[in-house]
Each structure stands twice: as structure tokens, then as C-alpha cells.
Amino acid sequence: MMNLIHSNCINRSQISSSPVSIHGVPLPRRNKKKHSAVRVSNFAASSTEVVADNGRRSLTASVDSKSRALTSGMSSSALEQLDIERGVCIPFRKYSPETVRNKVLESRGAVASLILRGVEIVWKLGLYWSSLMYDCLVGRDKEVVPFRARQLRNLLCDLGPSFIKAGQVLANRPDIIREDYMNELCILQDDVPPFPNQVAFKIIEEELGQPLEALFSKISSRTIAAASLGQVYRATLCSSGEDVAIKVQRPQIEPIIYRDLFLFRTLASFLNGISIQKLGCNAELIVDEFGEKLLEELDYTLEARNIEDFLENFKGDPTVKIPLVYKNLSGSRVLVMEWIDGIRCTDPQAIKNAGIDVNGFLTVGVSAALRQLLEFGLFHGDPHPGNIFAMRDGRIAYVDFGNVAVLSQQNKQILIDAVVHAVNEDYSEMANDFTRLGFLASGTDVSPIIPALEAIWQNSAGKGLSDFNFRSVTGQFNKLVYNYPIRIPERFSLVIRSLLTQEGICFTLKPDFKFLEVAYPYVAKRLLTDPNPALRERLIQVLFKDGVFQWKRLENLIVLAKENVAKMSSNPALQVKNGPTSRSWQTVSKLDLTDTIKDGARLVLFDERIRRQLLLALTEDSKLHVEELVDVYKLVEDDINIPAVAMEVVQDFPNVVRDFLLSWSNSVLSDR
């Protein structure tokens, strides 16, 4: 069953037994509620964190399973590179070049169909390519770009779902296609012709094994939405009278997808040497990323599990709504979910008419997006306006979980590192972060990229938060992609698209909205309050620059974190009284710095270097900096519960004494 298991996959139980420390200073273990297991994905688990879920994700990297993976020939060098970049292990892989080849070449009829399909693709794409060459020869290649881009979009629709999906992917790949073509291909994300109702209803009956009228008392006569792989209807359940959304896969799509993937991979293998030499990107790797994601989206049982994972991650969060999935009414080609009765984010007037506080709603939306990205490592890969709704009680609702992306614990930490390096203006380390995240091949000389990164960041951040937006940064980054051998990994192209799309939604609802004015406070709050040792380490890096303590930076972090708390607490969804989640969210109105104070005290007590730096900070320029200390205290005095902190310190005192004695004995032994 397991096609690929990496030896670096370890179990969560192994991690929990390892010491938790910063700079070698042991930190106290928190209440398990604060460190509840995050649902990472259905088919991938972090290389440093594997979540067991009723046995479904429990992995053991035994020698036998590794031998089977190697002898089965299911992995390719490109796929192995992808797994190394992602830092994940794949317990069940639907895609591999060998699987695709075996599926396509299983019969003589399939081979004949493949040849005919290849001729059709070559003929149609060849005609299009010839027209581009003719434009270049007669010198009109620039003036006909809008027409040719529109022609390409229509051609991809004509070639079928694989090419529509490829067009959707290209719409987010500035490392592969130019911007004017990207803008035209974006239309494919929302505007795809539906297939007939009779065909869709027949698929539902075949998949569920019952006639429609036995399951649904009512079903819409028109599709609610149509996409490259399927379309959606609204219906009412006979059993309960509840309204549901039915997602139905396009007919006979799987053999078409496999056949096209085989042709894509064959072409990529043929052109790989040229693409690496001329473009600095691995064509096989790009096709493998695309194929893996496409086959995952084809299986609606995976999407059902994705929904379960999102439900688990946002459990107890009263600001986010995830639809329930009816697994007993779902299969690999049909998915039945709770109907979301919300307001589309494309209708700002309706949102305002419903009495929803736009600022509060936008804060909730940005915070939910950042939690997916930096906290859970499992995020919605296609949050366009049709997939995000405003609920009338102020919550944000997500639908369509076929396209999700996974970031490993390592990737999340590198992203946070990149934020820290940007704050500290350490551009050489930012360039190294690009290599660690897979944007640059290992061993690439990053020195030419450093000045370009510095120019992009200073040009954008130098304007201040009021003028900073992701679209302008992305536009400048796209130019960087053309000039250097940068490949945007699929998961990060989804991150970029996700952030750009959500920023666009924010602009629709509030034209003067500043994304970073919400994002920065969220990051500040996490840095200050999250007890994760990795984030504690990043907080130290932010507060100390070149060995000097940054008082102003600490004050800014506290102000921003309190701003995030204030905006979140103003959302109507948090004003629910006596609700099931109200108790767990009562403390949202205050910034809880209890754990941060305790961990900081431990660091000062045990870490000589930190202690020396703080003393220098307090006595810098031959004067006591008591005023700065008082300013910081004034910012947090309303948020600190002195009796509660004192009680926790007393309870933790035996552990502190034990750790102090261990630290002292270690230093004595090391001196010898």
C-alpha cells in the first residue's frame, strides 16, 4: 500500500519525548490543550511530525517498507526531489510516472486512443504555435498579445479538462508564462462550460446506488457552479430536510486525465535537458507536481477527508465556518456537503446591508488564512470569491476543498525565518531561505540575487504599511523570476495565489484596506504568545539585532498584538453568549503573555549570553534605561494577571530549581 516511505519520518510520540528548549535552556511543558495535534493532510505528514488519526496516518518507516518502495519502482528522481523539498513523507501516492504509464498502456485499444489523442494535441497546439511564429516574423507579436492570449484560453477549453487545469496552474506560474497570458488564463478558474444535467444525475445515482428521488426531495435544475473537473448542484435531503451541495465529477474524466498526463510527462522528459539549461527549471518536476495534485483532486474521498481536517483544525474557533460532509452520501465521484447559506464576497453591498462589520470580518479572514499557512500547514489552495462566504453572524465560511496544499513543519519555520530576516533586513539569509524552500536549486550562487531582493523589499516596505500590497511585490518578484533560475514550487504558487486572491477580496470589500495592517498584528501576536520553542527562538532573533536589544521593536510588537486582539474581539461571532465555544474564547479580549513572561524569566536565569545582552541593553550609553522598561510595562500592565502569574511561578518553582541544578552540573562537568 505504501508507495514511498522516507527514513526520516518519525512518530509524534518520539518527538514528545525529546527535550523542549531554546538556546539549550529547557522550557516547561505546557498543558496538552495548547499543543493539540494539528491535522496536516490526508496523504502527507510532516517529516518532523506525523499525526496518528485512528490509524489512518500512523506511519512506521521499517526496512521492509523501504525495500518495497525501492523495488516497486514507484518513485522517480523528480518525485524524490519534491519530497525532499516539502519535507514530507507520502504514505499513499496516487501519482507516479510509472503508474500513469501502466494505466495508459494496459491494452491495445488504449494505445490507439493515445496515438489519436497525441495527434489531436500536436495538430491543435502546432497550429497555435505556427500563428505565434508568424506574428514574430511579421513583427506584430506584441500588438496581438490580447488576441493570442484569448485564443490560448479557448484552445485549452477545447482540448479538455487536463488542459483547462493546466491553464489554471499556468495562471499562477510567473516562472513559466508571461503576465498578460496569466491574466487571461485566470478566467479559466471561474468560467468553464458545464456538462448536461442528465449525465450528472446518472453519475449521482450510479455512485450512491439509489435513485435521486429516494435521496433528495428537491435538486436544482441548473448548476450552481462549474469547474474543470466537476460541477455543483443544490439539493434538499429527504431524510432530514436539510439543504446540501452536491459536487459531481465530469463523466469519463479519469482515463482522459491519465492519457494526457502520460503525454505531458513524455514531452517533459524529451525537453528536460533544454528546460534546465535555458530556463533553469526541471520540466519533469513541474509535470510531476501538476500530475500529483490533479489526481488528488480527482478523488472526492480525499476532498471529504480534507474537509474533516479543516473541521478539526478550526474546531472551537467561532469565527470560521467549515461545511459538514455527508460521507454516507459521498464517493470517489460524488461529494455531498452542508449547504453554506452565506453572502458571496463579490457582493460588498449585500455584506454591508446584512449589518456585518467589514473591518472585523476582514480581520477574521486574514487571521484564518494566516493560521492555515503558519499554524496548521494545511491551507485552502483556491480561495477565490466563489469559495469564500460571509455568514450573517460575522463568520467566514470556506467551500471547495479539492485543492489544498501542505506545508511541512520545516517549511513553516523557514517562512517565519524569512519574515524575521525581512524585519532584520538580512537579505543574504533571505536569499538562502529561497534555496531552503525549493525556489533555487541546491548549490546555486545566491550572491547576484541579494541586491535584487533588497531592492524589492526596500522599495515596497519603504513606503510603509499604508502603501504595501502583495500584488506590487509579486509583480516585482515576477521580474526576478525571469532574470534568475528560480522555480516556484507548486505549493508556494498556491500560497502566492491564495494571498493575492484574498487581498483582492479585501480590496473589493474595502478599497483602502491594507493587508499587512492585519497580517502584521497577527504575526506579532503569535511571536509574543505562542509557546512553540521555534517561535520563541524567532522572537529572540527579532528582539536582538547585532547583539543589541531593540526596545522600540518590542513596543511595536506589543502594540500590534493588542491591535489584533481588539479587532478579533469586535467580531459579532465572538459575542455569542452561552454558546458551546464562548467559554474557550473568553480570554480573547486580552493579550495573554503569561507563558512568554515565564519563558523569558527562564532564559534570563539560565542563558548567560541573553542575560549579558539584557544587562547591556539596560545600561547602554552609560545610563540606566529604566524609562524604556517602564514604557513596556505600561503597555502590558492591563493584560497581565499578577496573581495568576505568581501562582504559576510558585507551581513551576520545583522544576526551575531542578533545571538550574542540572544546568549548573552540566557547566561544571564541561569545564573539566
- The reported pLDDT for the residue numbered 301 is 92
Of 398, 384, 414, give the one whose Cα is nearest residue 494.
384
Of 447, 484, 136, 490, give the one whose Cα is nearest residue 279.
484
Of 241, 235, 175, give the one whose Cα is nearest residue 204.
235
Element (H, E) at 94: none
Query: Does residue 246 contact residue 220 with C-beta atoms inside 8 Å?
Result: no
Beta bridge partners of 226: 231
Element (H, E) at 14: helix 12-16
- The reported pLDDT for the residue numbered 338 is 95
- The reported pLDDT for the residue numbered 233 is 95
State how far the Cα of 426 lies from the Cα of 430, in Å rounded to an integer.
6
State how far the Cα of 663 lies from the Cα of 607, in Å rounded to an integer.
10
State how far the Cα of 293 lies from the Cα of 290, in Å rounded to an integer.
5
- The reported pLDDT for the residue numbered 62 is 35
Joined grid coordinates for residue 476: 516585482
Element (H, E) at 296: helix 283-298
State how far the Cα of 661 lies from the Cα of 332, in Å rounded to an integer.
59
Element (H, E) at 102: helix 97-104
Exposure class string for 314-353: b at 16+ Cβ within 10 A, else e: beebbbbbbbebbeebbbebbbbbbbbebbebeebeebee
Strand 230-237 and strand 225-226: pairing?
A: antiparallel
State how far the Cα of 39 lies from the Cα of 313, in Å rounded to an integer.
6
Joined grid coordinates for residue 287: 509535470
Whether 180 sits among the annotated catalytic residues: the reply is no
Residue 374 dihedral angles phi and psi, to the nearest 5°: -100, -20
State how far the Cα of 318 lies from the Cα of 406, in Å rounded to an integer.
24
Burial of 657 (0-12, 13-18, 19+ CB in 10 A): exposed
Q: What is the dihedral of CA 316, 321, 326, 331, to 10 degrees?
A: -110
* DSSP state string for 367-414: HHHHIIIIIISEEES---GGGEEE-TTS-EEE---SSEEE--HHHHHH
Query: Consecutive sets of 10 residues in the chain, 672 residues long: mean pLDDT of each?
Result: 37 39 55 47 40 34 36 49 58 76 80 87 91 88 86 89 82 68 77 88 94 94 88 94 95 89 88 71 80 88 93 91 94 94 83 84 87 87 82 90 84 80 78 84 81 74 57 71 73 77 79 75 78 75 74 78 71 51 48 73 70 71 70 74 71 69 65 57
Exposure class string for 162-181: b at 16+ Cβ within 10 A, else e: bbbbbbbbbbbbbbbbeeeb
The model's pTM is 0.72
Query: Does residue 372 contact residue 407 with C-beta atoms inside 8 Å?
Result: no
Query: Does residue 303 contact residue 352 with C-beta atoms inside 8 Å?
Result: no
3-state secondary structure 495-540: HHHHHHHHHHHHHHHCCCCCHHHHHHHHHHHHHHHCCCHHHHHHHH
Question: Which residues, 6 or more positions from 122, have their beta carbon under 8 angstroms from its beta carbon?
Answer: none
State how far the Cα of 257 lies from the Cα of 443, in Å rounded to an integer.
35
The number of residues making up the chain comes to 672
- Mapped onto helix, strand or coil, the DSSP state of residue 238 is coil
- CB atoms under 10 Å from CB of 576, counted, come to 14
State how far the Cα of 249 lies from the Cα of 375, in Å rounded to an integer.
32
Residue 630 has, within 13 A of its CA and on its CB side, a CA count of 4
Angle, CA 35 vertex, CA 29 and CA 40 arms, to 5°: 140
Q: What is the dihedral of CA 419, 424, 425, 430, to 10 degrees?
A: -40
Long-range CB contacts for residues 133-138, cutoff 8 Å, separation at least 24: none
- The reported pLDDT for the residue numbered 656 is 64
- The reported pLDDT for the residue numbered 196 is 93
- The reported pLDDT for the residue numbered 220 is 94
* DSSP state string for 306-332: HHHHHHHHTTT-TTEE---B-GGG--S
Question: Which residues, 6 or more positions from 269, have their beta carbon under 8 angstroms from its beta carbon?
Answer: 283, 284
- The reported pLDDT for the residue numbered 278 is 63
State how far the Cα of 300 lies from the Cα of 310, in Å rounded to an integer.
15
Residue tagged active-site, from 299, 382, 400, 607: 382
Query: Does residue 416 contact residue 534 with C-beta atoms inside 8 Å?
Result: yes
Q: Which residue has the cell 473591518?
A: 359
State how far the Cα of 569 lies from the Cα of 557, in Å rounded to an integer.
18
Backbone φ/ψ region at 23: left (φ over 0), alpha (ψ -120 to 50), beta: left
